[in-house]
Each structure stands twice: as C-alpha cells, then as structure tokens.
Amino acid sequence: MNNFSDLTLPELLDDNFTTDIGRLICDEGDAFLLDGSDQLTPQLLERMMRCMLFALPHIFPWGPVIILPNPVSRFCLDLRVPRDIPPQNWFRNRKFHRHARDFTLVVKTDLRPDLCIAQAYHESMSGRTWITADMIELLQDISRCRRDVVQCFSFSLVTKSSGETAAACLGFACGGVYQDYTMCTPLRDHRSCGSLLSRMVAAVLQQIGVSIWYWGYRMPYMQEYTTYGAREFGRQEFNSLLRQNIGVQLLPLSTISLPSMISLDVQVASWSSTRLAAPNGGFQGGRDAQRDEMQLAD
C-alpha cells in the first residue's frame, strides 16, 4: 500500500492518504501517474480532490493510468478581498450588458445533467473525453455525499428562448479554494456565452467566500484575465493558500445576489443517499481539451 504523503504529492492535511489500487510510477514535474488503476473509488477520488488534484483516466499501451495534473505553476483567479476591482466589475462589459438577459444562470449540486452535456460536447469536438459514464457516477456520488471539505458545483448558462444549455462549468471547492475540471460551450455564437458564464461564476464564487479559482496550466488567451486578478501561483504558495483556506465555510448558495439583469436559478438537490457508493466498473478514455476557450473578450 502506497503512502502518498511520502511520494511528494502536495502537502496535505491527512498524513494517512493511501491507496491500494495502484502505485505512483513517476512525477514528470507537471503530473503524477498512478499505475494500474482501472478502478477508482469515490473515496479515493475525493481524497485526491482534497489535495486540489483531479484524476484524469487515460489508456497507455501498458495499461490504464490515472493522470494527476500537478503544475509547477498554477494559473488562478485571485478572488480575495479587499482587492482593487470590486465584485460588480465582473459585469462591466458591453457584450454582457447586451446579452445577459437572454440567459438564466443555473447553479446545481446535481452534476449528472451537465456532465452528460460536457461529455457529448468534448466527444464531438475531439473524438474522446475522460468524462466516461463511470466518472460521471463517481463525481455524482461525491456531490451527493457532501463531506465537510469537498463541495461540488455545476454552473450552466441556459437560453431563455429554447432552454438550451449554452455553456457549462463544473468544479469543486475545498474550503475557500475552487477548481473547475471541465468547461464546455455547446452554443457558440456572437454572444460569447463562455465569457458571460465565466463572469457570472467568478461573481458567485466571490460572494460565497471562495478566495482562489484554480484554472490549471496557463494558456495564451488567459492573459486578459490578469486585469481581473488572475496570475500564476507556484506550488509552495498555492499549497500554503490551500492549507490556510481549507477550513473556510462557504456561504449557502441561497445567499447569492446578482444584478437584476441576471436571471438566477439555484437548484440544491435533496439527496436520499448518505453514503459514497462504489463505482459500477472500470473506466477507459482519454482526456479532453484542458479547458474550453472561455475568454472575457469585449
């Protein structure tokens, strides 16, 4: 049995983080590989998420592997207050004021509907995705059995005219640190739906008490987000912030207050199950694009 805390995973608050389903075979600087892991339990995935690591199943010639992205430098949106830009500035954008009324922002704790949309989207865009049926069930189990630390959210932008999902962002929070693990923009038109959703998600996260929104590896189009507090965090700084914020209690979703131009629908599922279920089987698949392009362009 491998003790992950002895294998240089990000410093964690649980010294007994272990697994008996595989072995850590390498750390390439930017990712850990967990070998022999064609089974992933909700309990193990949740403990990885507590480290702000997310499991991406991948099939290599020698067998299934879990990729755990671990960037040397993490690109994050700094939402801590006080800050130079007040929260309402997320909405100071011409396209936002022109088109925000076309949509409803839906915030859910039931992940399955939007995960299925993201799965279909990424399969159509790249021909493969890590969002398999088994991964959907694993994430749904974690959301259904919310513990004290990991909280899962799904944000979607839904058109008022047709009820179509224009964009979606799914992620999880550990205290005051939030990471999204997939985004998609099924409706791609002149309204820049991804940009609209990004602004709304940032505003909501800031309101409920999130300090850091972790995006992953920096990509060229993210440069313009630096004017909104986005920057790169080294591992040591990021892990320090995680330790400082993991005990933060986020405000209830019912406390969200957005400008009148934004229609808001908060759906908090009333789960009947209180235990993490075992997965229905193994998983196979590649990984989709690291992040769907969701720029804050004017």
Confidence of residue 292 (pLDDT cuts 50, 70, 90): very low
DSSP labels, 167-210: EEEEEEEETTEEEEEEEE-S--STT-HHHHHHHHHHHHHHHHT-
Which one has a higher pLDDT value, 38 or 90?
90
Task: Report all structural domains of the chain as residue ranges with CATH numbers, in order of start.
Answer: 2-69 (no CATH), 73-267 (3.40.630.70)
Residue 263 pairs in a beta bridge with 104
Do residues 34 and 68 lie in contact, with contact meaning Cβ atoms separated by under 8 Å? yes
The separation between the first and the last C-alpha atoms of the chain, rounded to the nearest angstrom, is 52
Q: Enter the tokens of residue 30.
A: 């930017």
Most confident segment among 4-8, 96-100, 225-229, 269-273? 96-100
**For residues 174-183, average pLDDT:** 94
Convert the pLDDT of each residue in 127-164 to its tens digit. Answer: 889 999 999 999 999 998 766 689 999 999 999 999 99
**The tokens 């075979």 sit on which residue?**
25
**The tokens 């072995």 sit on which residue?**
23
Q: How many helices (H) and strands (E) does the chain have?
A: 6, 14
Omega before 82 cis (within 30°)?
Answer: yes
Convert the pLDDT of each residue in 201-231 to its tens digit. Answer: 999 999 999 999 999 888 776 776 787 788 9
Convert the pLDDT of each residue in 14-66 to its tens digit. Answer: 333 444 444 555 555 677 777 655 567 888 888 888 888 898 888 777 777 78
Mean pLDDT over each residue of the chain, to the nearest integer: 77
pLDDT at 36: 53
Candidates 154, 8, 147; CA nearest to 72 is 8
Which one has a higher pLDDT value, 82 or 296?
82
Candidates 91, 40, 88; CA nearest to 68 is 40
